[in-house]
Structure 1
Amino acid sequence: MRTTPRTTTRIAGVLTGLALALGGAALTAPAAHADVTACIDQVEREIQGGEAPDSVRMACYVGLTGDSEQCVVGLTAGGVTNATATVACRVAPN
């Protein structure tokens, strides 16, 4: 098989795109974790030093997906005030 300059350019473009995609995924993962942490921290401030239960963590993960309404429902079901739940869920997907 003979490699032409056009094939070489195409392969280089594909490899560059792959590298950018993988690098972008690696850069986004820590940001997503920080957003969930911000949501949990918001709730823990209301608890005043207590550690958030698993139900809060799960609700914040739901908020991370962009489903703010279900995030608020999950947090308020766990005893978080509506005002705190709304703010916490708002910061989750950012």
Structure 2
Amino acid sequence: MRPSARIPSLLAALALALGGAVIAAPAAHADLEACQNHVQGQGTEVTDEVRMACYVGLVGDQSACAEALTKAGATNTAATEACRLAPQ
């Protein structure tokens, strides 16, 4: 194989390897569970509102997550910490 043909082949192999790492990444539900478990551990029942708030925290809107969790009955401290856990 010519050297000029090897470089694109190596780059393609690298791209496929990195793509496989993305596919093998852990599922996002683990982060949602950490958020939900924290809120539940602080005495708030995990409802659909709590699940949705944790999802909002997962996608990166920490202030909206905390606001929704406090509306669902969590304390400000528990909501802030749970939303911090969501995207990790």
TM-score above 0.5: yes
Q: In the TM superposition, what are the counterparts of 1:72-91 in structure 2 within 5 Å? A: 72-91=66-85
Please state how far the C-alpha of 1:17 moved relative to its aligned partner: 1.4
Q: Give the RMSD, CA atoms, in angstroms.
A: 1.9
Deviation per residue, 1:16-63 (Å, 9 max, x gap) = 212212323422x33x32221110000111227x5x101101100110
Q: Which 4+ residue blocks in structure 1 deviate beyond 4 angstroms?
A: none
Q: Report the residue type matching 1:13 in the other structure.
A: L
For structure 2, list consecutive stretches of 5 or more residues without a partner in the other structure.
Answer: none
- Identical residues among aligned pairs (%): 42
Please state how far the C-alpha of 1:79 moved relative to its aligned partner: 1.4
Partner of 2:52: 58
Partner of 1:11: 9
Query: How many residues in Structure 1 have an aligned counterpart in Structure 2?
Result: 88
* TM-score, normalised by the number of residues in structure 2: 0.83
Greater fraction helix: 1
